[in-house]
Amino acid sequence: FALESELRQAIENDELVLYLQPQCGIDGRLEGAEALVRWRHPQRGLVPPGLFIPVAEDSGLIVPLGDWVLTRCCELLARQEMSHLPLRIAVNVSPRQFRQADFVQRVRHTLASTGADPTRLLLEVTEGVMLDNLADTVGKMSELAALGIHFSIDDFGTGYSSLAYLKRLPIHELKIDKAFIQDAPSDPNDAALVDAILAVARHLNLRVVAEGVETEDQAAFLRSRGPLLYQGYLTGRPEPAEQQLDHWLASQ
Ligand code: G
Ligand code: G
Ligand code: MN
Ligand code: NA
């Protein structure tokens, strides 16, 4: 597969680009940012992750790719200017990356070699990793949580996680998938799902991030439902990390 060998090269040639998307409180205050990788291909231009993350996952390239993203994020966190920005950076961790036997060691190593503060790091995992091997997942998450790292369940509500699992894991946050958010103001079923997720989060004392908030209608619906963070085009698109940081620092 051509894309696979090109992607292997891309990781080595530094063709990947780190983007950040803001996560804001109801008052618009910056609370966090999600790291989203892009591929600046010399011929194809900017390749969206939806096209190459699945290839990376299937081929195992997600491991070096994930290391690249984590390292860039930890380097950012370790920068002096970051002490002026009150945010945590959320990094997506793919199931295959999380299942690596040395995943915990790699994260520790990256924190140590960059000097990043672990309490500024949040790892996003999907519901699938909970189902895979619960004992292994509990072990890895507990070790990392003990360092101060937070965990978030990405695309919550689209998988098959049981609430019993949620209770057994050191999780701090649920992210409501954009599919639910986008139809919630008009679709009573999606509205009910959003309410159910917020109820679970309240009971388990978890923070909630609503993803894919694009319109005022969606924001108004969410405002009427309870406290959460907003991530979406309405409050800010993903932008190259350097540009995004300059922008945030200038508006401090
Ligand atoms: O930015 P966009 O919506 O096109 O991203 C598409 C998908 O790619 C999302 O599901 C997102 O979680 C995933 N993705 C983006 N960056 C990363 C990354 O650094 N690591 C992993 N594993 N997935 C990522
Ligand atoms: O799977 P994950 O949640 O990591 O992916 C988040 C993806 O959602 C990112 O790739 C980002 O580009 C995309 N995204 C962020 N905000 C919006 C939005 O408001 N609308 C839509 N359609 N996509 C968004
Ligand atoms: Mn995510
Ligand atoms: Na998501």
Residue 66 alpha carbon to ligand 3 centre in Å: 13
Which whole-number Å values give the CA distances from 71 to 8, 74, 88, in the listed order?
Answer: 17, 5, 15
Domain harbouring 19, CATH code: 3.20.20.450
Residue 124 alpha carbon to ligand 3 centre in Å: 6
* Domain total of the chain: 1
Counting Cα atoms < 13 Å in the Cβ hemisphere of 104 gives 13
pTM, full prediction? 0.96
Beta bridge partners of 239: 20
The Cα–Cα gap between 66 and 98 comes to 10
Task: Tell me how many degrees the CA angle 243-247-248 measures, rounded to the nearest 5.
Answer: 120
H or E element, residue 162 = none
Tens digit of pLDDT per residue, the chain (252 long)? 688 999 999 999 999 999 999 999 988 899 999 999 999 999 999 999 999 999 999 999 999 999 999 999 999 999 999 999 989 999 999 999 999 999 999 999 999 999 999 999 999 999 888 888 889 999 999 999 999 999 999 999 888 777 888 888 999 999 999 999 999 999 999 999 999 999 999 999 999 999 999 999 999 999 999 889 999 999 999 999 999 999 999 988
Name the residue range of residue 138's domain: 2-250
ipTM of the complex: 0.95
pLDDT at 131 (0 to 100):
80
Residue whose CB lies within 8 A of the most ligand 1 atoms, among 7, 37, 181, for a mutation test? 37
Residue 92 alpha carbon to ligand 3 centre in Å: 5
pLDDT at 128 (0 to 100):
84
Checking DSSP bridges between strand 121-126 and strand 150-156, what pairing results, if any? parallel
The token duo for 143 is 């070790």
Task: Count the neighbouring beta carbons within 10 Å of the beta carbon of residue 142.
Answer: 13
